[in-house]
Structure 1
Amino acid sequence: MTAPSPSTTPLPVGPLLAGPVWAAVDIGGTKIAGALVDSTGTLAHRVQLPTPAKESGAEVLAVVHQVLEHLAAAPDWAAVTAVGIGSAGPVDLVGGTVSPVNIPGWREFPLTAEVAAHPAVAGRPVALAGDGVAMAAAEHWRGAARGAENALCLVVSTGVGAGLVLNGAVHPGPSGNAGHLGHITVDLDGERCPCGSYGCLENIASGTAIARRALAEGWEPRGGDRSARAVAEDALAGHPVALAAFDRAAQALAAGIAATATLVDLRRVVVGGGVAAAGPVLFEPLARHLDRYAALPYVRGLDVRRAELGNDAGLIGAAALCR
């Protein structure tokens, strides 16, 4: 398989980045992105390629290498002091490995070592985190969780990831998977998940799951677009099946959020990722279901906010790991 050519923004002319500069890589089941990020959270020299998720581990790594090579060609590369990676998980910080549920070619894949061995990295330290933890780091540094002592930050996209902020700091846990909300059970009679468990939140609330449910219930996509975005467009237009698919996803998210808030006593919840772009068709039923599930006095009225950093969150978060 020949890796695709990068889709980039034009390289800036002259100095742009200030202070320490970090290379950031964001790896998901749909795309692998990279950028250079400075101490203010400014991004430059972006690159994004599709993830060959169904291909071999070596072919996925080849795309990561392409991203690194694009960044290394930038004039600011000499100022880079470290490389941060946010990856779909689970991850293993002790071993530096990743086993993304949506990238079957990577199982206990030594991602940290492979990136560190790339000639462009040249001895720079490499920091790894799950994508949910990276998103939490980003939103706590520059986004909707800024100033929160305790927060849950969710990425609802191809999968469902999350990260925790506890006592004013991002809390990855010893393995790096603390807050891995997408793989808690919310449906006791649910289907088996690719992770090996049953009834996982991700199997109900991810964009993939929303589209799958809508199709199973008779939704007919216009123009052949079978994505969650297309379901969201029809839901905004009042399509009952599309609305029901989002309502079910919101119910599952509410159950997971309420359980987490009850367990660790937090107030702030930040929701990002591609599915969050659906806006009211997700957030209105989410608020309604949270009223049912977040019942104890100390978790009632959770402060739910839409993520502020959009598609930049993964990259800003990967850089935040290096700070």
Structure 2
Amino acid sequence: MHPHGATGPLVAALDIGGTKIAGALIDTEGRPVVRSLRPTPPGGDGETVMRAVAEAVAELRAAPQWSAVVAVGIGSAGPVDALHGTVSPVNVPGWRDFPLVPRVGEAAGGLPVVLTGDGVAMTAAEHWQGAARGYDNALCMVVSTGVGGGLVLGGALLPGPTGNAGHIGHISVDLDGDLCPCGSRGCVERIASGPNIARRALESGWLPPAGTEPTAAAVAESARGGDPLAVASFDRAAQALAAGIAATATLVEINVAVIGGGVAGAGPVLFDPLRDHLSRYATLSFAAGVEVVPAKLGTDAGLVGAAAAAAQGLGLSGFVAG
């Protein structure tokens, strides 16, 4: 028996983003049994950020349950390169082709390490323990500061060769649309991310309620109150998401689209127009009827998914969706 009722092996998981570095030991039920958390050093050079990661790992290693850990899974903001074990996250400027996998392997005492993008990690989590559970073909999306995603096809996570497959945020849905920071035009992310929902509302003349910051959450609040400018900005985001989901359904055949991230917290303000637009874009018999549902796992999705993706990549039993 392992302490604290954890049964069987554990996977150490890291969820690395622009604001925080979260760590946990995840059991075969998808529960975090030990946690660690560090802020991502803002504007830090590569070694400074790595030091915070190493501290998070050291804190996990100090737990008595560490003896049951068989692998380490990392879900990182992208782009990631799982082939070479490197990361170049847009929001961690100090890391460009940073050799994260060997460095985490060192910090973790030589355990096997599996790296995936954060969208793929969230997808692994939702398929194993969340809203995509029981579906063999699913698209999962994170709509927040950026728009990421991942795919489950034929019952298995599809990370792609470098760990970035399913990155729906950078499908172009507006051919001559705004230039996206990625270099393309009219990307889903450029239209549907939280900051872009707020930007578009402000540009149209929307004003946030007195004393609140002009965020997507504030736009959602106004939209719930019937403000037509706020409603229009969410409708445009919903249209972009619908076009991306329809393209995906047409390309690979999915049964469900799971949407998480802060913007999904807007609820019906996003989901109602999204389902409406989807019925107009996904029209072929095999693409129509894709269910659109909110994600279930919230802030732990990155950790749970990093563990699940590592377990699938290494063929560990007990951690993979049945």
Aligned: 1:272 with 2:249? no
Q: 1:103 to 1:187 in 2, by over 3 A?
A: farther
**For residues 170 and 212 of structure 1, what CA distance do their matches in structure 2 show?**
34
Residue of structure 1 in register with 2:216 after alignment: 228
**For residues 169 and 32 of structure 1, what CA distance do their matches in structure 2 show?**
27
Contact 1:101 / 1:195 at 8 angstroms: preserved in 2? no
Say which of 18, 29, 45 aligns to 1:29: 18
Secondary structure of the corresponding residue to residue 44 of structure 1: strand
**For residues 216 and 208 of structure 1, what CA distance do their matches in structure 2 show?**
12
Say which of 165, 181, 200 aligns to 1:194: 181
Deviating more after overlay: 222-231 vs 265-274: 222-231
Please show how residues 65-144 of structure 1 align to structure 2 within 5 Å: 65-118=54-107, 121-144=108-131
Percent same amino acid among aligned pairs?
A: 63
**For residues 227 and 84 of structure 1, what CA distance do their matches in structure 2 show?**
32
Over residues 169-196 of structure 1, what are the superposed CA-to-partner deviations in whole Å (9 max), with x where a residue is unaligned? Answer: 0011112111111111112122222222
Deviating more after overlay: 189-198 vs 286-295: 189-198
Unaligned stretches of 5+ residues in structure 2: 312-322
Deviating more after overlay: 86-95 vs 234-243: 234-243
Deviating more after overlay: 294-303 vs 64-73: 64-73
* Alignment: residue pair count: 309
Say which of 249, 258, 261 aligns to 2:237: 249
Over residues 295-323 of structure 1, what are the superposed CA-to-partner deviations in whole Å (9 max), with x where a residue is unaligned? Answer: 11211121111111111111110110232
Aligned: 1:314 with 2:289? no
Say which of 9, 24, 41 aligns to 1:20: 9
Aligned: 1:238 with 2:219? no
Contact 1:17 / 1:37 at 8 angstroms: preserved in 2? no
Residue of structure 2 in register with 1:3 after alignment: none
Over residues 25-71 of structure 1, what are the superposed CA-to-partner deviations in whole Å (9 max), with x where a residue is unaligned? Answer: 11223332221110111113333344345443333323322322332
Secondary structure of the corresponding residue to residue 117 of structure 1: helix
**For residues 266 and 5 of structure 2, what CA distance do their matches in structure 1 show?**
33
Secondary structure of the corresponding residue to residue 187 of structure 2: coil
Amino acid at match of 1:246: F
Residue of structure 2 in register with 1:5 after alignment: none
Over residues 127-155 of structure 1, what are the superposed CA-to-partner deviations in whole Å (9 max), with x where a residue is unaligned? Answer: 10011111111111111111111111111
Over residues 112-137 of structure 1, what are the superposed CA-to-partner deviations in whole Å (9 max), with x where a residue is unaligned? Answer: 1221122xx00111110011111111
Q: 1:62 to 1:197 in 2, by over 3 A?
A: farther
**For residues 237 and 49 of structure 1, what CA distance do their matches in structure 2 show?**
38
In the TM superposition, residue 17 of structure 1 has moved relative to its aligned partner by 2.2
Secondary structure of the corresponding residue to residue 146 of structure 1: coil
Superposed structure 1 runs of 4+ greater than 4 Å apart:
none
Aligned: 1:180 with 2:167? yes
Secondary structure of the corresponding residue to residue 81 of structure 1: strand
Contact 2:115 / 2:310 at 8 angstroms: preserved in 1? no
**For residues 52 and 190 of structure 1, what CA distance do their matches in structure 2 show?**
34
Q: 1:217 to 1:49 in 2, by over 3 A?
A: farther
Taking only aligned residues, the RMSD between alpha carbons, in angstroms, comes to: 1.9
Contact 1:30 / 1:158 at 8 angstroms: preserved in 2? no
Say which of 289, 299, 302 aligns to 2:277: 289
Amino acid at match of 1:150: N
Q: 1:247 to 1:23 in 2, by over 3 A?
A: same
Residue of structure 2 in register with 1:215 after alignment: 202
In the TM superposition, residue 224 of structure 1 has moved relative to its aligned partner by 4.1
Secondary structure of the corresponding residue to residue 186 of structure 2: coil
Q: 1:177 to 1:33 in 2, by over 3 A?
A: same
Q: 1:298 to 1:236 in 2, by over 3 A?
A: same
Q: 1:105 to 1:208 in 2, by over 3 A?
A: farther
Amino acid at match of 1:113: P
Please show how residues 131-170 of structure 1 align to structure 2 within 5 Å: 131-170=118-157
Q: 1:258 to 1:318 in 2, by over 3 A?
A: same
Contact 1:53 / 1:102 at 8 angstroms: preserved in 2? no
Unaligned stretches of 5+ residues in structure 1: 1-13
**For residues 160 and 53 of structure 1, what CA distance do their matches in structure 2 show?**
21
Amino acid at match of 1:159: G
